[in-house]
A and B are shown apart, each in its own frame.
Chain A
Amino acid sequence: MNLELAANMGATPKADIPAESPLAIRGMTVSYGQKPVVFSVDMTVAESSMTAIIGPNGAGKSTLLKAALGIVSPLAGQTLVFGKPLKAARHRIAYVPQRASVDWDFPTRVIDVVLMGLYRELGLLRRIRPQHMEKARACLERVGMTDFADRQIGQLSGGQQQRVFLARALAQEADLYLLDEPFAGVDAATEKAIIDVLKSLRSEGKTVVAVHHDLTTVRSYFDRVFLINTRKVAEGTVEEAFTPEMLNQTYGGRLATGQIDQLELAAG
């Protein structure tokens, strides 16, 4: 069957989208070539929550985020951000792409990258004033990178690069934070620093959604999960949805029983 047609048939009518949700996705379908990567996915993110998007490699986790942000164009589907179309609500979203998606040899300094987060405020030609620098420095301080402000970004470790990306997102002063694998390849200190910042964002009433790989930390880091393997498998609080049955369904039996037992233990 025609993929687009199928996706449209699967889409839920607009009426049931809760207007207050920071991020509501309906009938999202994305394909690269003939192969659907995300198929007819609905997602409703709860306000002031931390949601982990979980699934095996190639399950469409990053693609779902990118489609929601309009970075890849979906075959079908719609996104509402705080009840508004994406275009009208971009200023309320901060996005942290995968660290490996940029060339860190780019000739720029740490502070310049953080200032990029102020683009909406600065526009094309407004001058960078002391208050903008102050804001950027405050964001660097929040991720513990103050001392690196004038470093070239290529001189940073992977964890430091990730913190700079987070600082840039903080500078956007958004209400919804979408992070693509923020803990991939970072050191333990960075992981701790990042999760502390994310938790403090939640306590300020902000909403955090992160693509996450490490199943052992899901319970301690997040309060909600979204399980996906091209199609949505489950969505809900960690207690409801982060269960061995759902994980088995998501990973298609690719998780060893030992791994699941460990998770149960961690839950215990």
Chain B
Amino acid sequence: MSGEEFVPLSLTPMLIGVLAAVACALPGNFLVLRKQALIGDAISHVVLPGIVVAFLITGLVAAAPMMLGAAAAALVSVVMIEAIRRLGNIEPGAAMGLTFTTLFAAGVLLLEQSDTSSVHLDVEHALYGNLESLIWLDAIGWSSLLDPLALMGLPPELGRVVIALIGVVGFLWLFWRPLVLSTFDESFAQAMGIATNRLGVALVMVAALAAVAAFDAVGSIIVIAMFICPPAAARLMTNRLEHQVAWSVVFAVLSAVFGYIFAGYGPLWLGFDNAVSAAGMIATVSGLILMLAACCAPHRHRSGAPVA
């Protein structure tokens, strides 16, 4: 494909897919190790009622109120999960399940009952996003990357995903040591004076930031898949956390790139004349990578004693 065609039509969606995948996979490493991976699922579901409520209040389909609504909903869900877990004295997985199904159902209900269907706010969009539509019409080829005027026309989702990724990387870089310590041995970390509870909430909020930015661009399917699949596959490749994080980035990038290509061209290669959802295909590729890792990766056997 030539630059004239690739840059305006495929470069930005692919880039947004890659950045969103990496932004979710990075905190996913810690969520998976803390057995909190489902919290990504919870966040990506509760974002829906947040967006609907933001629309109902403001009447705008603008990015700012939607992002704020989504972030607020993510915060509410984190508080709800903690409250249910502590007050009900039940395991975190159950509290997450309770929270996200309820809030997602509330979101769907709101969506059905309100007038939002006319303004391109629908369940399908929420699930799959619309990666293919994030095109860069101002671009005429590779040279546009150096053209300030054309760069102004980049889809705004790109900027938001970049900001989210910077936030995620900055948080992990700054708090790497206490995060590792409290993930591996919480009581030792507490005895050292590390505020493990606050750190845990901060991790979830950073994951929520990534989820909300990614949700905006690519829908919740990718968010859920990227929190879990690349880190889980990466865990099977190595026995060192630093390497695991690096592998998870590699897998996230591979999923996004190949998922996007397969979605656009896969059906053509197979003789069909349509394309399939890029978000769905990216999630599928990440699942295939996890399957391959589970079959063939070098460190797929538990070496420690099974955890009760």
Closest to A103 in B: B307
Per DSSP, are chain B's interface residues mostly helix, strand or loop, or mixed? helix
Q: Is B133 interfacial (CB-CB < 8 Å)?
A: no
Contact between A119 and B191 (Cβ–Cβ < 8 Å)?
Answer: no
Q: Any chain B CB within 8 A of the CB of A120?
A: yes
Taking a contact as CB atoms under 8 Å apart, the answer to whether B190 and A69 are in contact is yes
Give bound CA distance, A153 to B192, whole Å.
21
> Knowing A124-B178, A155-B303 touch, does A66 contact B187 (C-beta < 8 A)?
yes
Which B residues touch A103, using CB under 8 A?
184, 304, 307
* A101 in contact with B303 (CB, 8 Å): no
B7 to chain A minimum Cβ distance, whole angstroms, is: 39
Q: Using a CB–CB distance below 8 Å, which chain B residues touch chain A?
A: 33, 89, 174-178, 180-181, 183-185, 187-188, 190-194, 235, 238-241, 243-244, 302-305, 307
B190, A116: Cβ atoms under 8 Å?
A: no
> B174 to A125, Cβ gap below 8 A?
yes
Q: Say which residue of A70, A71, A102, A107 sits within 8 Å of B235 (CB atoms).
A: A107
Determine the main DSSP class of A at the interface with B. mixed
14 examples of A-B residue contacts, CB within 8 angstroms: A71-B187, A90-B192, A103-B307, A105-B307, A106-B183, A107-B238, A108-B184, A108-B239, A113-B184, A116-B181, A120-B192, A152-B239, A154-B303, A168-B188
How distant is A141 from chain B, measured CB to nearest CB, in Å? Answer: 21
Find out whether the CB atom of B241 lies under 8 angstroms from the CB atom of A90.
Answer: no
Q: Look across to chain B and name the residue whose beta carbon is closest to the beta carbon of A128.
A: B177
Which A residues between 122 and 138 are near B, CB-CB below 8 angstroms? 122-125
Judge whether B187 and A95 touch: CB under 8 Å: yes
Whole-angstrom distance between the Cβ of B41 and the nearest chain A Cβ: 21
A124→B188 contact, CB < 8 A: no
Contacting pair A154 B302 (CB below 8 A): yes
Residue among B33, B174, B177, B243 making CB contact with A106, cutoff 8 Å:
B33
From A102, A107, A124, A155, B241 is in contact (CB under 8 Å) with: A107
Q: Are B184 and A124 in contact (CB under 8 A)?
A: no
- Give which listed residue, A71, A113, A154, contacts B239 with CB less than 8 A: A154
A116:B191 contact, CB within 8 angstroms: no
Q: Is the CB of A71 within 8 A of B305?
A: no
**Interchain CB contact under 8 A, A101 and B185:** yes
Contact between B175 and A116, CB atoms less than 8 A apart: no
Shortest Cβ distance from residue A225 to the other chain B in the assembled complex, whole angstroms = 23
Q: Which residues of A contact B177 (CB under 8 A)?
A: 119, 122-124
